[in-house]
Amino acid sequence: MNHPLPDELLLFASGELTEPRMNDVASHVQTCGPCRDMLAQLDQSLVALGGTWPPPRRSRSLARPAVWGGVALAAAAALAVVLARPSRESPRAGWAPTTTWSRTAGYVAGGTALLDIDAQLTRLEQEPHYARP
């Protein structure tokens, strides 16, 4: 594949390139150093720009149901796990660390750590760019 056009790289960096070019460019930049460098430079500027302005204001009446919905879903999931836990085992018998370090979230859950998922969702909601495409 030829090198993508600079405009295509900008669209790619912003997640706005359409198929099939999105896939083509994704494959290309994995192996092309110069294109990767250009992309890295675009990314750096976009990142800096994104941190400068707060995200567009959303009305509280729209945002709050989403927050409470997330809390309710996490609570429901935690309840499901509590109900599904085998009752014969000692509470401490199967204990194991439930979180591992993650470069994106600080920690990730390993399948059963629903409280950790709750904490992670709470953290994500506090990000200035949360849910902003």
Partner 1 sequence: MLGSRVLLGNMPTPAPAITAEHLLAEHTAALRNYLGARCRDHELTAELMQEVAARLVLATPRLRLNGNARGYLFRIAASVWHDHLRREMVRRRSAMLVQANQPALAPAADARLLERELKDAVRRAIGALPVAQREVVELRQQRDLTFQQIADRLGRPLGTVLTQMRSALSRISAELESYR
Q: Which residues bind partner 1 (CB under 8 A)?
A: 6-7, 10-11, 13-19, 22-23, 25-27, 29-30, 41-53, 55-56, 58, 62-63, 65-67, 69-70, 73-74, 77, 102-105, 108, 120-121, 124-125, 127, 129-133
Cβ 7 to partner 1 shortest distance, Å: 4
Give the residue with the Cβ less far from partner 1, 18 or 90. Answer: 18
Shortest CB 34 distance to partner 1, Å: 15
Residue-level length of the chain: 133
- Are the beta carbons of 108 and 102 closer than 8 angstroms? yes
d(CA 42, CA 84): 48
What's the min distance (Å) between Cβ of 3 and partner 1? 14
Question: Which long-range CB contacts under 8 A does 129-133 form with residues at least 24 apart?
Answer: 129/50, 129/55, 130/55, 131/66, 132/55, 132/56, 133/15
